[in-house]
Amino acid sequence: MRYATVLIALFLTAASSDPQSEKLRLGLFTGMVPVRWDVEANWRAFEQAFVAHAGEGIDLVVTPECFLDGYAAEAKDWTLERFSRIAQDVNTSPYIARVRALAKQHRTSIAFGFTENDHGKFYDCALLVDRQGGITGHYHKTHLQDCDLRFSPGADLPVFETAWGKCGILICADRRWPETARVLRLKGAKITLIPAYGMWHLDNEWWMRTRSYENENFVAFVHPQVAFVSDPQGQIAAKLQTNIPSMLVCDIDLAQVSDKAHIRDRRPELYQDIARPGKSAGNSTNATIP
């Protein structure tokens, strides 16, 4: 049985094919909890949904976190041997080759979630592939909590140059810290993609609306059970909640992103404590002891 709530506000009637355009048509893949450990079944489901929407002029398709392997890192039947089998080497994986071929064939960029094996280290990865099938870059989840400790942590918050402008990526729990989204914005990201697998309740929607509002940019949140886009004013531009594999297709105009308020009027000289190593709440060196 399908449960779907769709709130779509289209900013444009069609996405532009101009490679310098800031108009972006998103396709956020949702509605399917991937089968844990079954990379082939998960790939087939993604490919089927992708091809079904291939004629809609989508510029960028985004999957949830670790969609290819069903977020196997938290499996109760986890073993290192089994984890090694589902982890993908970007340079040799047949599935990464398929992602690149699909992007090239349909002239559509893809942000693809999977477990990466990089010289024996495992990363929660989102790979960004351009419309020619080239690898624009990849992001490793940086903020690991209890369920993530089978991964190695990423060491950078990169921003990627794309045909429509600068794009940042955070993965699931990374969104809990306002500093991560702010760093991406200060590096020029006009949209922050957030593939996720964990919590997706209404409170999360409010938190992501806050992230977009305080950074004056777009946030695209993609989970197996819901996908939505919040705009620079913190409003929901589009949303789809369903339990059938689907694609939330929506148009946004990145020209709406500006620095006219929160970014312009920052006072960085007041925020130095944030960047001090080992600094924690209640541990101020200026505290007065009675």
| pLDDT per position as a tens digit, 222-271 | 999 999 999 999 999 999 999 999 999 999 999 999 998 899 999 999 99
Could you give the CA distance from residue 63 to residue 198 in angstroms, rounded to a whole number? 14
Average of pLDDT values for 44-71?
97
Could you give the CA distance from residue 173 to residue 63 in angstroms, rounded to a whole number? 16
- Rounded to the nearest integer, the mean pLDDT of the chain is 90
In the chain, count of helices (H) and strands (E)? 5, 13
Q: How confident is the model at residue 177 (pLDDT cuts 50, 70, 90)?
A: very high
Q: How confident is the model at residue 147 (pLDDT cuts 50, 70, 90)?
A: confident
* Domain residue spans of the chain: 5-266
Could you give the CA distance from residue 103 to residue 252 in angstroms, rounded to a whole number? 20
Q: How confident is the model at residue 218 (pLDDT cuts 50, 70, 90)?
A: very high
CATH of domain 5-266: 3.60.110.10
* Higher-scoring residue by pLDDT: 9, 156: 156
- For residue range 8-22, list pLDDT tens digits in order: 333 333 443 454 579
Report which listed range, 128-137, 140-149, 265-274, is most confident. Answer: 128-137
Task: For residue 255, give both structure tokens.
Answer: 């020209």
Q: Is the entire prediction scored with pTM above 0.85?
A: yes
Average of pLDDT values for 100-113?
98
Could you give the CA distance from residue 280 to residue 73 in angstroms, rounded to a whole number? 29
